[in-house]
Amino acid sequence: DIRMTQSPSTLSASVGDRVSITCRASQSISSWLAWYQQKPGKAPKLLIYKASSLESGVPSRFSGSGSGTEFTLTISSLQPDDFATYYCHQYNSYWTFGQGTKVEIK
């Protein structure tokens, strides 16, 4: 199994902050990585696929980068609607998820 490790587990930030979440894969996954946003009681929502491609309808303040084993999700200016939990997900070999990063209000 390919293991996905996210950091940090929790991130405290304020509206307007630039925030970044890191995801590391236990082996190379090329660019087969996606990012999801999940709010309490709701299903996850796809934000980024193939490491850096923005899903249709997702605000441009979200961006993804990286390849191989290290990836980053960046929110350029945090908005009130962005407080949620974020998951990375590899689909290079089977499908596995990171443990999640909760973005909370500082």
Residues contributing to the site for another protein (CB under 8 A): 1, 32, 34, 36, 42-46, 49-50, 55, 87, 89, 91, 94-100
| Shortest Å, Cβ 78 to another protein | 22
Residue closer to another protein by CB (options 17, 91) is 91
| Shortest Å, Cβ 2 to another protein | 11
CA atoms within 13 A on the CB side of 3: 2
Give the DSSP letter string of 38-51. Answer: E-TTS--EEEEETT
Residue closer to another protein by CB (options 14, 36) is 36
Distance CA 94, CA 29 (A): 11
Residue closer to another protein by CB (options 66, 98) is 98
| Shortest Å, Cβ 50 to another protein | 8
Residue closer to another protein by CB (options 16, 28) is 28
Distance CA 87, CA 106 (A): 20
| Shortest Å, Cβ 87 to another protein | 6
Distance CA 49, CA 94 (A): 16
Question: Is-contact 24 45, C-beta < 8 A?
Answer: no
